[in-house]
Amino acid sequence: MSWVYLVLAGLTEIGWPIGLKLAQTGYSKLLGIGMAVAFMVVSGYFLYLAQRTIPMGTAYAVWTGIGAVGTFLVGVAFYGDPSSLVRYVGVMMILGGVVTLKLAS
């Protein structure tokens, strides 16, 4: 169950940069910041639950990896962030690290 919590932590980690972006792009600033804070709290709580049985370093690396890859993909898909083959290779390297940490656990 800890790995489920960790994946949920990583997925909700994607929500807070989106909230901050919404606060900067003409959306309600207060609503965007509120969304960011709410996702931070939820993500942190799931990370807390995951760390009960997953080593801290592994949990943190996987959490940030999922958040980084997910935020990159959302940025490219919805916010016009730049994409290139090199950037996608970098994202694949992050994913490879996350998978390696899972397999090593």
**Domain definitions of the chain by residue range:** 2-104
Measuring CA to CA, which residue among 87, 82, 74, 94 is closest to residue 20?
A: 74
Instruction: Give residue 32's pLDDT.
Output: 94
pLDDT value for 26: 73
Each of the 105 residues of the chain gets a pLDDT tens digit; together they read: 999 999 999 999 999 999 999 999 877 899 999 999 999 999 999 999 999 999 999 999 999 999 999 999 999 999 999 999 999 999 999 999 988 988 887
CA distances from 74 to 11, 62, 70, 79, 89 (A): 11, 18, 6, 7, 16
Neighbours of 52 (CB within 10 A): 10
